[in-house]
Amino acid sequence: MTPLSPMTTRSGALTGKTCLITGGAGGIGWAMARLFALHGAHVHIADISEQALGRAAAHLSGTPLASRLRYHQADVSDRASYEACITAVHKQADRLDILVNNAAYVRWDDVEQMTVEEAERSMRTGYDAMVYGVKSALPLMRSAGRGHIVNMGSAAGIVFAKGPSAAYAASKAAIEAYTQILRLELKGSSVCVTLVRPSTVVGTDFFCKNVVSSRMPRIADFLPTSTPEQVAAAVLRGLLQGREVIDVPRYLPLIYRCYTTAPELFKKLAALGGSARRDFAYNPERGAEQDPGSTRRSRPGGLL
């Protein structure tokens, strides 16, 4: 099993907490689920894929963490399905302390190639599902006098450069705006809100199945990437520290400032050299071992 580094020492920091993570059977969601469970939480994983849920459960079968995880098949883009999942978790645990809206529909095609239905699904699974989750969980958290909502944004929702699909960037930008305003509205209350903005995360279905690495600009070859485990560790630190925004890697605020200062120049520089040549499907920390929810499409390698 891939080490959950850093912050893998059992701290009991989340002991007694009940967490629900959407899109939790693979990638960042799966890394968060294992790490939160390691730190004492009871974690409920929601995912649309029964097959991915089965693989995730099998991956931890017989380990000490197995008893701390529960699995729910749910389509978060369907309001009734997502609300039923939240209700079921709350009914089982009689509490919901942490909600992580992590699910996303990933399809990076140009506007002319992407269907209207695919663009709509990007927004339904990302933005709309987040709204459903917040509206369903927030009253429960308010009533309990505690709670933490974590929404998964992206650097692609702030920096608009060629590469990500317009629909994906729009979904992440909408999550960014909604979360920032929600945080202001809930400031001083018993419910905390955190926005997570990862950049390039290697070794997940994002690049293993859904996006060819060459969609990324050449500049991405030379910037530090993150693993799912690193993002999970950053989220855990953010929860414990009450962080409002978590950027992974930590250099991202500098990128944002450069883009804000000279957006057109930034776009031109980012496009120099054409497409990326690195294989972002490959996680060097795992080597041959892959995320249980991932199916590799391309061979591992560095710069090609």
| Global pTM exceeds 0.85 | yes
Question: Which of the following is catalytic: 71, 105, 132, 168?
Answer: 168
pLDDT-derived band of residue 2, with 50, 70 and 90 as boundaries? very low
pLDDT-derived band of residue 287, with 50, 70 and 90 as boundaries? low
pLDDT at 58: 96
pLDDT-derived band of residue 297, with 50, 70 and 90 as boundaries? very low
Of the ranges 126-130, 212-216, 281-285, which is most confident? 126-130
- Give percent above pLDDT 90 in the chain: 72
pLDDT at 235: 98
Whole-number Å distance between alpha carbons of 298 and 183: 40
pLDDT at 302: 30
- pLDDT, tens digit, for every residue of 84-113? 999 999 999 999 999 999 999 888 889 999
Between strands 147-152 and 191-198, the pairing is parallel
Q: Of the candidates 18, 70, 62, which has an alpha carbon nearest to the alpha carbon of residue 45?
A: 70
Q: What is the mean pLDDT of residues 32-55?
A: 97
Task: Evaluate if residue 273 carries a pLDDT over 70.
Answer: yes
pLDDT-derived band of residue 270, with 50, 70 and 90 as boundaries? confident
Q: Which are the contacts of 259, defined by CB distance < 8 A and separation ≥ 6?
A: 158, 159, 161, 266
CATH topology of domain 18-212+225-261: Rossmann fold (3.40.50)
Whole-number Å distance between alpha carbons of 124 and 134: 14
Cβ proximity of 131 and 78 under 8 Å: no
pLDDT-derived band of residue 299, with 50, 70 and 90 as boundaries? very low
Give the domain ranges of the chain.
18-212+225-261
Phi then psi for residue 140, to 5 deg, are -65, -40
Query: Catalytic residue at 82?
Result: no
- pLDDT, tens digit, for every residue of 172-216? 999 999 999 999 999 999 999 999 999 999 988 888 888 888 888
pLDDT at 291: 61
pLDDT at 303: 28
Higher local confidence (pLDDT), 84 or 285: 84
- Mean pLDDT for the chain overall: 90
